[in-house]
Amino acid sequence: MAQKPSIPKGTRDFTPVEMARRNYIFDTIKDVFRLYGFSPIETPAMENLSTLMGKYGEEGDKLLFKILNSGDFLRDVDPALMTSENVTRLAAKLCEKGLRYDLTVPFARFVVMHRNDLQFPFKRYQIQPVWRADRPQKGRYREFYQCDADVVGSDSLLNEIELLEMIDEVFRRLKVRVTIKLNNRKVLAGIAELIGCPDKIINITVAIDKIDKIGLENVRAELLERGIPAEGVERLTPLLTLSGTTAERLSALRELLAGVEIGQKGIDELTEVIEGVEALGIECDLELDVSLARGLNYYTGTIIEVKARDVEIGSITGGGRYDNLTGVFGMPGISGVGISFGADRIYDVLNALDLYPAAVEESVKVMFTNLGKAEAAASLKAAKALRASGISAEVYPDAAKMKKQMSRANELHVPYVAIIGESELAEGKLTLKNMTTGEQSLIAIDELSSAVK
Amino acid sequence: MAQKPSIPKGTRDFTPVEMARRNYIFDTIKDVFRLYGFSPIETPAMENLSTLMGKYGEEGDKLLFKILNSGDFLRDVDPALMTSENVTRLAAKLCEKGLRYDLTVPFARFVVMHRNDLQFPFKRYQIQPVWRADRPQKGRYREFYQCDADVVGSDSLLNEIELLEMIDEVFRRLKVRVTIKLNNRKVLAGIAELIGCPDKIINITVAIDKIDKIGLENVRAELLERGIPAEGVERLTPLLTLSGTTAERLSALRELLAGVEIGQKGIDELTEVIEGVEALGIECDLELDVSLARGLNYYTGTIIEVKARDVEIGSITGGGRYDNLTGVFGMPGISGVGISFGADRIYDVLNALDLYPAAVEESVKVMFTNLGKAEAAASLKAAKALRASGISAEVYPDAAKMKKQMSRANELHVPYVAIIGESELAEGKLTLKNMTTGEQSLIAIDELSSAVK
């Protein structure tokens, strides 16, 4: 009985054309990672739930995919637990393992487990899928790739400078125009201190993070609602309306935060990073944005977010510095800084702007037709010689109708078709058809590699 | 409270050195796949359990990792089912999804779902991890990679010839000496028919498959035990002791199977494949092996198995032709043939023989020391220029002690260290140290890229 197959919602197959486009993005990112001295690692898809639980908040715990224990998974389960009211506790009994939710927690676990074999500062990149039991919607999947690069074991701001250069280089290569927004957690802490609410930093940043969406007046209203005194809101307002060049904004910010030590430290760091990047040269826009509060419960210094300038879409890359990545696993005091490229959104941006080089979709450089046994044998030989010089080739496997064979070459965007028929075979030649121009020429078989190079 | 982290048994982390070695293998395989016109696809890690169950036998069903449904997974479960006696049926209620067990069933599902968008013959490769809840042991993991290449939609033996050439090319590039063993399911069917037990083909092949391990006499005893009449065992014996060249074996086999139509068809196919490969040239040993019965419930024609000649280890690559891959998903009559490289075993072989090129373990080509703020700024500039010419470089992020910086370069097998100190900075020069020879030279900063190329 045949079943009509499907795949789980929120997951995707990738066809050869999609793979070619995605690999173009991944290879670009990987090449930049490599050029900057980052080395790849991989961690297992499954982690112990004890590693994952409690790291992503209560909501995150619910979004973990849990793996049913093998064998008799009920053996040690108290029957009283087996009711709908107890599903959370029951799940913890039925499942020891879960699928990784991001690459950061597995990386922290990796650093702690391999601490004695690693050279610090340790510069790693990791490109692997992650899984979240989120409600699927446009642009949000239950399986998607993350592309992370992190440096751990160094608190030098030189790392921030190089990571920003890497972002610039990746998008320069991909031909995507972007704005890099920059902030520093210490500036946000300084603001909270300035207005006399150092414990309300989360409330403050949640509100000011919305300024692009809801406007200044609504942010002010929300700040009051969230318990910031009116005087504090007044003192904060000029910080939200900084204008001018980056240097001008930095200097205005320094003045507004005068006397607030942590705020001054944040401005020092921002200044060093921005001057460092400008000295090296950067093509994309670099923008100081005090309202940027991304991942605040996590970052302790620099905060980075990247927006595409020509497509309406959320942030396509982000990152920042965190001072206690591995503390939860018993290894305190390790500072790290990292960036994460959102491969799926970058893919959407490249699709929207049609930014793929034409060669990305070529499946094979030369297709040999198959016009019979002896002709195919000669084609196999010629294809082998071509491959030895690094050129991809295929021989149509069946002596099918010529029209069918040529149609395959068209559909697969094959740039050259090589035809060895009876007369070509007799002469040791082949007819080479350029599928772009339609030109045909008769050449010696051993001239083929130079003809298509 | 810090926890001491661990990973699930049977899974592995891959460190940068391990990744470099594994990528060397994967890249070699991918490059050969690409040269032969195979295109990559990817499928989700999670498949619906309805896609996976019943495809790998009862034992396989038990080895599937199942994913607990999200939310209230008990909602529609009959409480009477919640006992240890019913765990199999209960699991089917608690879990809709599972992790893929191999790449073949997801590929079949993919072909059926995308049939209208694919060009047949469809030549795909797929390199992704698979998961099995097997008892972990040396060389057997719960998460491991498969590297498959298949052609579906063509029954031409030209595909077999090219796949064998691909195997030869991969191991030639990896410098691993291998023997490719070849058989054909139709020959096995012919043997079963010859001895009057066409319905006992499985029993026969299970027994003769053991000849290398237990010897001829024990195989004969086992055949009798498995219900093959004594006369049949006598007729079969010469087939198990074929000797001489491949051509001599084929001709002896043809004589022994005289009058058995399916057997003759199998010999015709073997002959065509072997002659085709020999005409193209092959470096490794190609051996006809009538006792080869790999994956018999699955393959319908050619059967391929590859053994390393210099390391004691199971088969490192296998494959064959199957005539009904997609039938179970409602798309009958699609013939396919494929090969699967066992990446983990190939990795073990390369480790055992130490076959990695030295460059595989280089993490970065040039490390710049960090001797202070101005020196580091100049180093960052020089590193950026180097990367623009395709050479990887890093700048030590902190102005640490020189000894510590040089020790990093040593540990990471960095071939060149570039030193910009006070005097170099004043002159626009750098000291380049070749870490292999120990030589040092003072060169202009803009000569660096040509000096290390």
Is some CB atom of chain A closer than 8 A to the CB atom of B411? Answer: yes
Q: Do A67 and B72 touch (CB under 8 A)?
A: no
- In angstroms, rounded to a whole number, what is the distance separating the alpha carbons of residues B260 and B187? 9
- In angstroms, rounded to a whole number, what is the distance separating the alpha carbons of residues B291 and B205? 7
Q: How confident is residue B383, by pLDDT bands cut at 50, 70 and 90?
A: very high
Closest CA to B118 of B104, B107, B127, B129: B107
Is some CB atom of chain B closer than 8 A to the CB atom of A33? Answer: no
Q: Do A94 and B68 touch (CB under 8 A)?
A: yes
Q: Is the dihedral of CA A260, A262, A263, A265 positive or negative?
A: positive
Alpha helices in A175-245 (DSSP H): 185-194, 201-208, 211-225, 230-240
- In angstroms, rounded to a whole number, what is the distance separating the alpha carbons of residues B99 and B83? 24
Which of A3, A52, A361, A391 would you mutate first to test chain B, the one with the most B CBs within 10 A?
Answer: A3
Residues of B in contact with A68 (CB under 8 A): 65-68, 91, 94-95
Residue A444 pLDDT > 90, yes or no?
yes
Based on the number of CB atoms within 10 Å of its own CB, is A41 exposed (0-12), middle (13-18) or buried (19 or more)?
A: buried
For A383-440, how does the pLDDT look when each residue is reduced to its tens digit (9 = 90+)? 999 999 999 999 999 999 999 999 999 999 999 999 999 999 999 999 999 999 999 9
Closest CA to B119 of B148, B152, B161, B149: B152
Q: Which token pair is B302? A: 């050619």
Is some CB atom of chain B closer than 8 A to the CB atom of A333? Answer: no
- In angstroms, rounded to a whole number, what is the distance separating the alpha carbons of residues B71 and B65? 19
Residue with tokens 């890690």: B45
Q: Do A37 and B114 touch (CB under 8 A)?
A: no
Rg of chain B over Cα atoms, rounded to whole angstroms, equals: 28
Q: How confident is residue B76, by pLDDT bands cut at 50, 70 and 90?
A: confident
Residue B56 pLDDT > 70, yes or no?
yes
Question: Which residues are within 8 A (CB) of B94 and not within 5 positions of it... i.e. 6 or more apart?
Answer: A68, A94, B66, B68, B69, B73, B74, B77
Which pLDDT does position B294 carry in this prediction? 72
Q: Do B387 and A35 touch (CB under 8 A)?
A: yes
Residue with tokens 């305190």: A332
Distances, alpha carbon B359 to alpha carbons B84, B134, B434, in Å: 55, 36, 15
Q: How confident is residue A152, by pLDDT bands cut at 50, 70 and 90?
A: very high
Residue B1 pLDDT > 80, yes or no?
no
Is some CB atom of chain B closer than 8 A to the CB atom of A294? Answer: no
B315 CA: distance to closest CA in chain A (Å): 25
SS3 sequence, chain B? CCCCCCCCCCCCCECHHHHHHHHHHHHHHHHHHHHCCCEECECCCEEEHHHHCCCCHHHHHHCCCEEECCCCCCCCCCHHHCCHHHHHHHHHHHEEEEECCCCHHHHHHHHHHCCCCCCCCEEEEEEEEEECCCCCECCECCEEEEEEEEEECCCCCHHHHHHHHHHHHHHHHHCCCEEEEEEEHHHHHHHHHHCCCHHHHHHHHHHHCCHHHHHHHHHHHHHHHCCCCHHHHHHHHHHHCCCCCHHHHHHHHHHHCCCCHHHHHHHHHHHHHHHHHHHHCCCCEEEECCCCCCCCCCCCCEEEEEEECCCCCCCCEEEEEECCCCHHHCCCCCCEEEEEECHHHHHHHHHHHCCCCHHHHCCCCEEECCCCHHHHHHHHHHHHHHHHCCCCEEECCCCCCHHHHHHHHHHCCCCEEEECCHHHHHHCEEEEEECCCCCEEEEEHHHHHHHHC
Which pLDDT does position B295 carry in this prediction? 64
Is some CB atom of chain A closer than 8 A to the CB atom of B16? Answer: yes
Cβ atoms of A150 and A337 closer than 8 Å: yes
- In angstroms, rounded to a whole number, what is the distance separating the alpha carbons of residues B417 and B412? 12
For B269-290, how does the pLDDT look when each residue is reduced to its tens digit (9 = 90+)? 999 999 999 999 999 999 999 9
Q: How confident is residue B296, by pLDDT bands cut at 50, 70 and 90?
A: low
Give me the percent of chain A exceeding a pLDDT of 90. 81
- In angstroms, rounded to a whole number, what is the distance separating the alpha carbons of residues B56 and B60? 5
- In angstroms, rounded to a whole number, what is the distance separating the alpha carbons of residues B393 and B366? 5
Residue with tokens 């470099």: B20
Which pLDDT does position B41 carry in this prediction? 98
Pseudo-torsion of CA B219, B224, B229, B235, nearest 10°? 10
Which pLDDT does position B2 carry in this prediction? 57
Cβ atoms of A98 and A71 closer than 8 Å: no
Q: What is the DSSP letter of A433?
A: E
Residue A1 pLDDT > 60, yes or no?
no
Q: Do B73 and A91 touch (CB under 8 A)?
A: yes
State residue A168 phi and psi, 5-degree precision.
Answer: -60, -45
Q: Is the dihedral of CA B257, B258, B262, B268 positive or negative?
A: positive
Q: Do A42 and B377 touch (CB under 8 A)?
A: no
Which pLDDT does position B393 carry in this prediction? 98
Which pLDDT does position A256 carry in this prediction? 93
Rounded to an integer, the average pLDDT of A181-199 is 93
- In angstroms, rounded to a whole number, what is the distance separating the alpha carbons of residues B312 and B179? 13
Rg of chain A over Cα atoms, rounded to whole angstroms, equals: 28
A188 CA: distance to closest CA in chain B (Å): 26
Give me the percent of chain B exceeding a pLDDT of 70. 99
Of A8, A36, A83, the CB nearest to B97: A8
Q: How confident is residue A208, by pLDDT bands cut at 50, 70 and 90?
A: confident
Question: Which residues are within 8 A (CB) of B126 and not within 5 positions of it... i.e. 6 or more apart?
Answer: B40, B41, B42, B43, B103, B107, B146, B147, B148
Q: Which amino acid is at A335?
A: S
For chain A, the average pLDDT equals: 94
Residue A3 pLDDT > 70, yes or no?
no
Which pLDDT does position A48 carry in this prediction? 98
Q: Which chain B residue has the Cα nearest residue A51? A: B5
Rounded to an integer, the average pLDDT of A67-80 is 91
Residue B448 pLDDT > 60, yes or no?
yes
Cβ atoms of A430 and A445 closer than 8 Å: yes
Residue with tokens 């029957």: A79
Which pLDDT does position B208 carry in this prediction? 87
Residue A47 pLDDT > 90, yes or no?
yes
Is some CB atom of chain B closer than 8 A to the CB atom of A12? Answer: yes
Which pLDDT does position B209 carry in this prediction? 85
Which pLDDT does position A79 carry in this prediction? 86
Q: Which token pair is A155? A: 């608190």
Which pLDDT does position A91 carry in this prediction? 93
For B108-161, how does the pLDDT look when each residue is reduced to its tens digit (9 = 90+)? 999 999 999 999 999 999 999 999 999 988 888 999 999 999 999 999 999 999
Rounded to an integer, the average pLDDT of A228-237 is 92
Sheet arrangement for strand A393-395: A393-395, A366-368, A416-419, A429-434, A440-444
Which pLDDT does position B432 carry in this prediction? 98
Sheet arrangement for strand B39-40: B39-40, B122-131, B143-152, B336-341, B317-322, B302-308, B178-184, B285-288
Pairing type for strands B416-419 and B366-368 reads parallel
Q: Do A13 and B114 touch (CB under 8 A)?
A: yes
Q: How confident is residue B435, by pLDDT bands cut at 50, 70 and 90?
A: very high
- A342, β-bridge pairs: none
Q: Which token pair is A122? A: 């340790």
Pseudo-torsion of CA A195, A201, A204, A210, nearest 10°? 140
Q: Which token pair is A242? A: 């900084």
Other C-beta atoms closer than 10 Å to the C-beta of B348 total 17
Q: Is the dihedral of CA B65, B70, B73, B76 positive or negative?
A: negative
Which pLDDT does position B332 carry in this prediction? 92
Which pLDDT does position B323 carry in this prediction? 87
Is some CB atom of chain B closer than 8 A to the CB atom of A374? Answer: no
A 257-276 → B contacts, CB under 8 A: 276
Q: Which amino acid is at B169?
A: E
B94 CA: distance to closest CA in chain A (Å): 9
- In angstroms, rounded to a whole number, what is the distance separating the alpha carbons of residues A96 and A312? 41
Q: Which token pair is A265? A: 């430290």
**pTM, entire model:** 0.94
Residue B228 pLDDT > 60, yes or no?
yes
Is some CB atom of chain A closer than 8 A to the CB atom of B137? Answer: no
Is some CB atom of chain A closer than 8 A to the CB atom of B81? Answer: no
For chain B, the average pLDDT equals: 94
Residue B297 pLDDT > 60, yes or no?
yes
Buried b (16+ CB within 10 A) or exposed e, A350-377: beeeebbeeebeebbbbbbbbbeeebbb
Of A13, A44, A392, the CB nearest to B7: A44
B 212-251 → A contacts, CB under 8 A: none
State residue A287 phi and psi, 5-degree precision.
Answer: -130, 125
Sheet arrangement for strand A66-68: A46-48, A95-99, A66-68, B66-68, B95-99, B46-48
Q: How many CA atoms lie within 13 A of A115 on its CB side?
A: 14
A 82-121 → B contacts, CB under 8 A: 82-84, 87, 90-91, 94-97, 99, 109-110, 112-114, 117-119, 121
- In angstroms, rounded to a whole number, what is the distance separating the alpha carbons of residues A373 and A380? 11
Which of helix, strand or coil describes residue A297?
coil
Q: Do B41 and A15 touch (CB under 8 A)?
A: yes
Based on the number of CB atoms within 10 Å of its own CB, is B27 exposed (0-12), middle (13-18) or buried (19 or more)?
A: exposed
Pairing type for strands B429-434 and B416-419 reads antiparallel
Question: Which residues are within 8 A (CB) of A301 and not within 5 positions of it... i.e. 6 or more apart?
Answer: A160, A184, A185, A186, A266, A269, A320, A321, A323, A337
For B340-382, how does the pLDDT look when each residue is reduced to its tens digit (9 = 90+)? 999 999 999 999 999 999 888 888 999 999 999 999 999 999 9
Which of helix, strand or coil describes residue A69?
coil
- B42, β-bridge pairs: A14
Which pLDDT does position A414 carry in this prediction? 96
Q: Which chain A residue has the Cα nearest residue B30? A: A392
Q: Across chain A, which distance is largest between two alpha carbons, in Å?
A: 94
Residue B173 pLDDT > 80, yes or no?
yes
Q: Of residues B227 and B270, which shows the higher confidence score?
A: B270
Q: Which chain A residue has the Cα nearest residue B94? A: A68
Which of helix, strand or coil describes residue A419?
strand
